[in-house]
Structure 1
Amino acid sequence: MTDSDQVRAGAPRIGHSDDPFVPDARPPLSWKTTTTLPSWVQAAADIEVTRDGTTATAHVDGPESVLVDWPFEPLRPLESALVRVRVRGKDGSASGWSAGTEVTAGFLAPGQWRARFVGSGSDEPHLLRTAFEVPRTVRRALLHSTAFGAYDLRVNDTPVDDAELKPGWNSYQWRVSLDVADVTALLRPGRNALGITLTGGWYTERFGFRDAAERFYEGPPAAAAQLTLEYEDGSVDMVVTDERWRWARGPVVSAGLYQGEIYDARLAVPGWGGPSFDHAQWNSVRFPVVPEATPTPRSAPPVRVTEHRSVERVLTSPSGRTILDFGQNLVGRVRIRVAGEAGHTITLRHAEVLEHGELGTRPLRNAAATDRYVLSGDGEEVWEPKWTFHGFRYVEVDNWPGPFTPEHVTAAVMHTDMPRTGDFTTSHPLLRRFHENVVWGMRGNFLSLPTDCPQRDERLGWTGDIQVFAPTAAFLYDCDAFLRSWLEDVRLEQRAAHGVVPMVVPAVIPQVPGLLKPVAAWGDAITVVPAVLWERFADHDTLRDCYAAMTAWVDVVRDRAGSALLWEEGLQFGDWLDPDAPPERPGDAKTDAGIVATAYFHRSAQLTARTAALLGLEGDARHYADLAERIAEAFRGAYITPHGRMMSDSPTAYALAIVFDLVHGARRQAMGDRLRDLVRAGGYRIATGFVGTPIICEALTATGHRVAASRLLTQTECPSWLYPVTMGATTVWERWDSMLEDGSINPGQMTSFNHYALGGVADWLHRCVAGLAPMEPAYRVIRVAPTLLDGLDDASVWHETPFGRAEAGWRRDGDEVSFHARIPPNTRAVVELPSGARHEVGSGTYTWTESHPLPSSPRAPLTLGSGLDAVIDDRTAYLTVLDAIRGVDAARAETFRRTTRWWRGRELREPLDKAPLPVLAAVEKALAELPAHER
């Protein structure tokens, strides 16, 4: 067997995604090696580029294979190149040349963009077209296009790609993305045509809440296109949007992201995008005034339809309406296949849940989420709205012609088309479903930019949501390019706000008080998200690009905090959506907002210091590291007693102090112990909001309280992660009780059934429970450190790191626990097993087995005089007490469940002191009948 059979280099990735067009002249290069040779490490690599018929080779010494600097002359505008690599290992092994990756520089030279933005001058959807001649053989035809609005482009009546809602949403005042396509194969000798369907998309949408919604961007939508024709003889022609284009109405009567789409098939214009169509009677285009933003090549993957799902059930509501259940809360739209009379109108209304059997539309607020199709009457018709999207599981169908056939309806799932890179699995069915819900929530909310929800009149880029979810997102999907693109808009919005990171980006809700004021945990997205991209993808360029924004944010907060370095003034969301907050006051959390704000101030200063050090800015690194330490001292002095008690005695406060590295030593352990006591006192039910939820289990396990973490994780009572699963949830909810136990929707005006923020705990499942975490950027060094949870029999993850596939996990078989790990080539791992055994290993596949008997002890006799902690720590005993009360008085049992605080040192009889004698007798009897075997 030759070395090249044992070691293979994969085709290189050029840039930060798999797009064949790159936006940069010097795109970084990455490649993965596959080999069965153990502990394989790259010693060197050769990179070959072929351009303009000439081949050049560069040599790279060392193990670098992720985002390696482009080693050749910069790409010229529109230049194409073919790149391949070969590698050599430290063991002397070598690969052959990889397959080649072809890439084209999608950017234009200065002054080369000549297209004008054209349109009808109105907000209504319309068609645009022109015809042109191709007089000789075309070698290559590249089409650049964009819009202030949403558009689709056709060449000779054929779509140029499968992207949706192009060009996506940016902060249009300063930035609009330019799509690039190679359309050579779509052209023909002689007469050809370009056609554009143009709608308003985000550009003309009304943003804001309820009656306050209003347009943010001014002017009607407009599109621009530039086709560059390179002929075999070396000559070049251009076809651009200009005064020769014409426009006309089409079958899309109206289209809005929130309201939905109305399509009248009777108004279709057959062949309008083809070369033989006569558009002489169409209207001359206008040149709407648009923002002075030079289009720049799109740097994130496009939105696409990634799958279609069939109807699972057809329901008839109590009012007699036909409702389709797709079995999964998703984001996208519905495709129908139907026949009927001309003018017959079908109405499709979308919602995420049913409420007492009817479509639950109240949470949508002002979003109608309704599509209408008017039939042409021309036989069987197939339609799928193209200019809207909805968050839904259920669709109410009204006025279907004739008998309804569910096979004639499917749901199209839409999101930014990122490669899937990770998953978590366990035999615990509810937890497995919860993790699937996290994945579906990310899919639905990563649509052009990271949104907070996909269904109501909002769908905005809330910075706090992605700040807490970014680590989970970076594990599940290759979202580096997606978040890099969004961070460009963050920096533009922040610059306009003089260093303040807005609550939402793009910042399109100026009518909301405080939009441009600093808010902790939301504005900190500018330090946290770039740090995550560095940790998970080794994205050094994003750190460099965001560094000035990071320092600007920390300096803004420094001014607000004053000499005390405590951020206690101004608008704050704090631990948003604490489960104890009233439905209409989601910010009324148990944790003092100043604790949250100051903890995040420390974290951002710390991340900024680390970034400065990575960039070689030693003076800045010392400055911000010193600031971070002084903030920590101020935090400890103001909010923590000498014995480790927080001034806000709440789980989020302790979790922040522990995970954000604000306390050390004995005081840290004391705070972990107090956190465990609080979690127990709450009956192992969630007591945290947006800020505390992603980190509370990590705080518990980091201080030795894995039993408490396990009980919290596997809890099914409300509030808990698994309560929504027991209620049929297929995505993560915005509120712990978005749906109440009686099947009614939470009465608050802000209720969503698809929010990813509370799913941020999945990062802990990946890193700590299954035990796969990066110790060095991009997982060059992997930490394998699983945590055994008594509530689980197993846990496993896989993750496609930038170096290759890694895996980790464990499985219990009685007292024996087996652990496994897979480490990709060119990386190594530090393995820390629960026994304390430590191994350092290179690439390869490994297993270990250790004895870990489940903790057990004889159950002591329990009575009304037993301690509350003893009862709640014995899940069987707790359920027995609850069932005994419920058997006599169900209402009292529910009150007991919701209000009892399970403190150590208190007896069970105390919360039952006013209970009738039959209740006390039932509890005593049930406890006496508990078996005395080990628990």
Structure 2
Amino acid sequence: MKGLFLYILFAIPAMCLAQTPAVDNLTCEYLFNPVGIDQVQPRLSWKINSAQRNTLQQAYHIRVATDASFSSSKTVWNTGKISSDSSILITYQGAPLKSATRYYWQVKIWDNHGHISAWSKTAYFETGLLSPADWTASWIVPQQDSLRKIAAPMLRKQFTLSKKIVSARAYVTAHGLYELYLNGKKVGDQELTPGWTEYKKRLQYQVYDITTMLQQGDNVVGAMIGDGWFRGTTGINQWAFWGRKLALLCQLQITYADGTVQHINSDGSWKGFKSSPVTLNGIYDGENYDARKEIPGWDSKGFNDAGWVPVDTAVYDKKMLVGVESVPVHKIQEIKPIGIFKSPKGTQIIDFGQNLTGWVRLKVSGPAGQTINIRHAEVLDKFGEFYTANLRKATATINYTLKGGGAEVHEPHFTFFGFRYIAVTGFPGEIKPENFTAVVVHSAMPVTGEFTCSDTMINKLQHNIMWGQKGNFVDIPTDCPQRDERLGWTGDAQVFSRTAAFNMQVAPFFAKWMKDVAADQYPNGGIPFVVPDNLLTNQATSAGWGDVSVIVPWTMYQVYADKRILQTQYPSMKAYVDYIVKKSGSRYIWHGGSLFGDWLFYRPGIYDFSEPNGYTSPDLIATAFYAYSSKLLSQAAGVLGNTADEKKYGDIYEHVKKAFIHNYITPTGRVFADSQTGYVLALKFGLMPDSLKAKAAAYLVDDVRSRNNHLSTGFLGTPYLCQVLSQNGHSNVAYDLLLQKTYPSWLYPVKMGATTIWERWDGIKTDSTFQDKTMNSFNHYSYGAVGDWMYQQMAGLQMDAPGYKHIIIKPEPHRKFSFVKASLESMYGQVLSSWAAKDGTMQVHVKIPPNTTADVILPETDGQEIKQDGKPVTGTAEENNTAIKVGSGEYTFSYHWVPKKEAKKTDKRMASTD
């Protein structure tokens, strides 16, 4: 008995401890311990870790201080106990934040089971320079030629620190791209800094903790500046669009043990050298590097800089300087070659097995003066030869000249490439796998989503979608990473934004870029085709592209419950819709508003009239998006409490809907032009009368079936195609589209060996020849927007409240799959939805994070007995489904399942090309 008593005595506290929630994953503005926050009221978020089911937060307590001990004299915000279930994006409301200051914070919570967490581990955020007056450094301009192609200038400054250092920061930006060095070492691990913004209005700066890189006594700060997007060639052969002179702004702030602060600023005392080993650099061109021109010790003390010349100072507006708002670009992973071979014509080729964005690291030994030429390509032609015609004018080449004398290692500095293959000439000796490594580079967004299923080709499609995002989210959302373009096409970003938010944490990425969208917005409210805008298109706007200004902020609000992005972007959202209002007039039809139409929709050969193409009236498209953006703007106004605008734009939506029905929908539910995209947009945007939705959906199905289960949609119709089919009771048709392996389809490129998403449905034709070489990217993420449907409908991972505060789990199983599984790391924690069918039994497994609730909709239950974790459970019947309400925790449901089959029409207007 004594042993039992002791067991109970010790077991009870242990059981209580197991039930006590913990608070972790503390973030400030979505980031873990960020340095350089420019927000004067940053937002704090946390996640709750609890093994107890149905856990909800009932109150929280936040404390913020300038020291980690949270002494009362250093505390700047102490909320006390706040009765609230909010745990994400809590706005700081303490004492005004000071520039260049680190703030520590903790949180604890009370849950609905009567438990109180301990204080979380301490997190921190550090402010940047919150006022232009905080910048004491001057812009410096090194001596440089006015030629189009120049070497990357080098800069240096030697300085002395006389006391013991306790902390030091570097605040840096440039006109061009920069690399900063201290005492012979590169500062930080970021790439392509300061990133790409609308440089005339917004320029990011980076903040680095350089405490351990400095020493008492003599030190040297150095920098190298490349052309980048600022001075280099971008857009349609636009050179030096933002300026011809490269420049640097650098401010080192050193805090000593005695509390005094010293600044080492860029100013006229710095020296520059216009020659460097980087003899040519460019986003499109690549890099020429002559290792013989390296200057040993140039960024270290003791170097004789007598041959260097003083820099000029310049005055540029510091009001446009903003702390980094997005996630930085990093080296993310490395890939080794899977093959080294010679083409039939003798070209030495290395295959990395994956189309990627980044560069190669070269390791080589050889004689001084030997030049190695490295070209980049996405594909080989049908004969196995290196193919670069689709790069157009982008030379995308590295020329490395050896200095000799031993092993040399090189990575390029101010450029990147889109490639799977490289062609190498001039390499001394036999190429071995260890000589070349592909370095994958993109914005360091945390991976949040995972999708997998029983079909290997669909898994490969998801792989390609993810790699398309990796390759094109390089500081801005580009259309492609390889040719002479690589621009922030607004339509591409708009259609993919929802899928992007499943795959990765994209809130800060899009928040930063959307500010550039607003900065580039025309005075009349129109939106450029690309952002940052360097196309000089005379203020042209196109429907579906311009709508990025409304759709992306709304999408980010839905996924992350982020009201601030709505508040920040609302003037831009409103100006865009008002622009359309003026263009459309009293008829509410936006004539001429769609310049690109349903871009790259399916069309047969130019002389092939055996079947209809996928053409959709541009005015129909423009008017549909006019309605949709008006509707979303009305909803955004409602979220922000602007009831007047909510009504105003809600009324506009109803007017546009009425005009759309009158002009484009027949009394029988047919949509003008009878195209898949026409039906998809009408149904998705709520423009079809309720009484005609079933008929319209049936016509859409007929079109798909008549094409032998092929799509005919382009950039604007494709993202919603499967979604509309599922939402109107035709998931089997959506599955048949997804599983189609012949052109045009999602799996045709997979079957042809694609490792990313193609720009065109038939980028490589069935005879292995290419589509139009002037526009044929093999890493173009737009068609990957089907990933949204894969997560939401196939796996059933949906939301019913912004930020996934309330979750819907509603899988749509299909007889051709034995399982589908998807997870998402939401703001509250991991949401998981998976289903598996075997021997007539359906098993649905879900995971719901603490502080959220969910409705689990079990498909096709048909009165079957349902078991939850092996025990019978009842729910609410919904047609042939069953709905069960759950709180946080993991649950497994099982029941007998018989998949339903759907009769197919056999009219094959589109013959199989398999």
Relative to the length of structure 1, the TM-score reads: 0.90
Amino acid at match of 2:105: V
- How many angstroms apart in 1 are the aligned matches of 2:706 and 2:315? 61
Alignment correspondent of 1:274: 300
- How many angstroms apart in 2 are the aligned matches of 1:148 and 1:530? 29
Alignment correspondent of 1:820: 845
Q: How do 1:352-363 and structure 2 match up within 5 A?
A: 352-355=378-381, 356-363=383-390
Work out which of the residue numbers 131, 137, 140 in structure 2 matches 1:115: 137
Q: How do 1:706-717 and structure 2 match up within 5 A?
A: 706-717=731-742
1:497: Cα distance to partner?
A: 3.7
Structure 1 residues 491, 896: CA separation in 2 closer, same or farther (over 3 Å shift)?
closer
Task: Answer whether contact 1:577 1:589 (CA < 8 A) is retained.
Answer: no
> Is 2:511 the partner of 1:476?
no
1:80: Cα distance to partner?
A: 1.1
Task: Answer whether contact 1:438 1:756 (CA < 8 A) is retained.
Answer: yes
- How many angstroms apart in 2 are the aligned matches of 1:221 and 1:503? 27
Alignment correspondent of 2:101: 79
- How many angstroms apart in 1 are the aligned matches of 2:143 and 2:663? 59
Work out which of the residue numbers 661, 668, 672 in structure 2 matches 1:636: 661
Task: Answer whether contact 1:574 1:589 (CA < 8 A) is retained.
Answer: no
- How many angstroms apart in 1 are the aligned matches of 2:99 and 2:315? 28
Deviations 1:690-720 (A, max 9, x none): 0111110111111111221111000000110
Task: Answer whether contact 2:592 2:618 (CA < 8 A) is retained.
Answer: no
Amino acid at match of 1:828: T
Alignment correspondent of 1:520: 543
Task: Answer whether contact 1:121 1:287 (CA < 8 A) is retained.
Answer: no
- How many angstroms apart in 2 are the aligned matches of 1:3 and 1:69? 32
Alignment correspondent of 1:921: none
Deviations 1:754-788 (A, max 9, x none): 01100001001111110111211110001111111
Amino acid at match of 1:660: F
Amino acid at match of 1:168: G
Deviations 1:61-106 (A, max 9, x none): 1110010111322321111111111111011012111111122111
1:664: Cα distance to partner?
A: 4.0
1:571: Cα distance to partner?
A: 5.1
Alignment correspondent of 1:503: 529
| SS state at 1:87 partner | strand
Amino acid at match of 2:57: Q
Amino acid at match of 1:282: W
- How many angstroms apart in 1 are the aligned matches of 2:132 and 2:905? 71
Task: Answer whether contact 1:774 1:781 (CA < 8 A) is retained.
Answer: yes
Alignment correspondent of 1:182: 209
Task: Answer whether contact 2:138 2:314 (CA < 8 A) is retained.
Answer: no
| Higher mean C-alpha displacement, 129-138 vs 109-118 | 109-118
RMSD: 2.0
> Is 2:64 the partner of 1:49?
yes
- How many angstroms apart in 2 are the aligned matches of 1:728 and 1:800? 30
Work out which of the residue numbers 362, 374, 377 in structure 2 matches 1:336: 362
> Is 2:334 the partner of 1:308?
yes
Deviations 1:32-80 (A, max 9, x none): 0011111000000111222155235313211100101113223211111
Pairs aligned (count): 861
Work out which of the residue numbers 93, 113, 124 in structure 2 matches 1:91: 113
> Is 2:461 the partner of 1:434?
yes
Relative to the length of structure 2, the TM-score reads: 0.92
Alignment correspondent of 1:852: 897
Task: Answer whether contact 2:361 2:436 (CA < 8 A) is retained.
Answer: yes
Work out which of the residue numbers 432, 437, 443 in structure 2 matches 1:405: 432
Alignment correspondent of 2:147: none
Amino acid at match of 2:531: V
Task: Answer whether contact 1:796 1:808 (CA < 8 A) is retained.
Answer: yes
Work out which of the residue numbers 838, 860, 867 in structure 1 matches 2:883: 838
1:126: Cα distance to partner?
A: 1.5
Work out which of the residue numbers 443, 464, 468 in structure 1 matches 2:491: 464
| Higher mean C-alpha displacement, 73-82 vs 641-650 | 73-82
1:250: Cα distance to partner?
A: 1.6
- How many angstroms apart in 2 are the aligned matches of 1:432 and 1:311? 23
Task: Answer whether contact 2:277 2:292 (CA < 8 A) is retained.
Answer: yes
Alignment correspondent of 2:28: 14
1:736: Cα distance to partner?
A: 0.3
Amino acid at match of 2:350: L
Deviations 1:197-232 (A, max 9, x none): 1111111122233xx544312222111100111222
Alignment correspondent of 1:253: 279
Which runs of no fewer than 5 residues in structure 1 stay unpaired?
860-867, 873-877, 879-894, 900-935
Task: Answer whether contact 2:327 2:445 (CA < 8 A) is retained.
Answer: yes
Amino acid at match of 1:467: Q
Work out which of the residue numbers 429, 432, 450 in structure 2 matches 1:423: 450
| SS state at 2:454 partner | coil
Alignment correspondent of 2:688: 663
Q: How do 1:487-886 and structure 2 match up within 5 A?
A: 487-494=514-521, 496-510=522-536, 513=537, 516-570=539-593, 572-580=595-603, 590-835=615-860, 836-855=881-900, 869-870=905-906
Alignment correspondent of 1:906: none
- How many angstroms apart in 2 are the aligned matches of 1:668 and 1:578? 24
| Higher mean C-alpha displacement, 328-337 vs 151-160 | 151-160
Amino acid at match of 1:550: M
- How many angstroms apart in 2 are the aligned matches of 1:370 and 1:41? 56
| Higher mean C-alpha displacement, 321-330 vs 737-746 | 737-746
Work out which of the residue numbers 22, 25, 47 in structure 1 matches 2:40: 25
- How many angstroms apart in 1 are the aligned matches of 2:214 and 2:550? 47
| SS state at 1:850 partner | strand
- How many angstroms apart in 1 are the aligned matches of 2:754 and 2:314? 45
| Higher mean C-alpha displacement, 289-298 vs 690-699 | 289-298
Alignment correspondent of 1:223: 248
- How many angstroms apart in 2 are the aligned matches of 1:202 and 1:582? 38
- How many angstroms apart in 1 are the aligned matches of 2:28 and 2:629? 31
Task: Answer whether contact 2:707 2:907 (CA < 8 A) is retained.
Answer: no
Alignment correspondent of 1:166: 193
- How many angstroms apart in 2 are the aligned matches of 1:37 and 1:342? 67
Task: Answer whether contact 1:11 1:98 (CA < 8 A) is retained.
Answer: no
Task: Answer whether contact 2:24 2:46 (CA < 8 A) is retained.
Answer: yes
Amino acid at match of 1:501: I
1:810: Cα distance to partner?
A: 0.9
| Higher mean C-alpha displacement, 658-667 vs 163-172 | 658-667
Deviations 1:644-701 (A, max 9, x none): 0011201111011111111242301111111000000111112100011111011111
| Higher mean C-alpha displacement, 483-492 vs 1-10 | 1-10
1:896: Cα distance to partner?
A: 4.4
Structure 1 residues 896, 528: CA separation in 2 closer, same or farther (over 3 Å shift)?
closer
- How many angstroms apart in 2 are the aligned matches of 1:11 and 1:759? 30
1:11: Cα distance to partner?
A: 4.3
Structure 1 residues 267, 3: CA separation in 2 closer, same or farther (over 3 Å shift)?
farther
Alignment correspondent of 2:10: none
Task: Answer whether contact 2:174 2:194 (CA < 8 A) is retained.
Answer: yes
Task: Answer whether contact 1:337 1:381 (CA < 8 A) is retained.
Answer: yes
Alignment correspondent of 1:883: none
Amino acid at match of 1:68: I
- How many angstroms apart in 2 are the aligned matches of 1:3 and 1:478? 34
1:580: Cα distance to partner?
A: 0.7
Which runs of no fewer than 5 residues in structure 2 stay unpaired?
1-13, 145-149, 608-612, 861-880
Task: Answer whether contact 1:576 1:589 (CA < 8 A) is retained.
Answer: no
> Is 2:457 the partner of 1:443?
no
| SS state at 1:563 partner | helix
Alignment correspondent of 1:351: 377
Amino acid at match of 2:88: V
- How many angstroms apart in 2 are the aligned matches of 1:396 and 1:119? 37
| SS state at 1:203 partner | helix
Structure 1 residues 140, 4: CA separation in 2 closer, same or farther (over 3 Å shift)?
farther
- How many angstroms apart in 2 are the aligned matches of 1:699 and 1:10? 39
| SS state at 2:133 partner | coil
- How many angstroms apart in 1 are the aligned matches of 2:614 and 2:676? 11
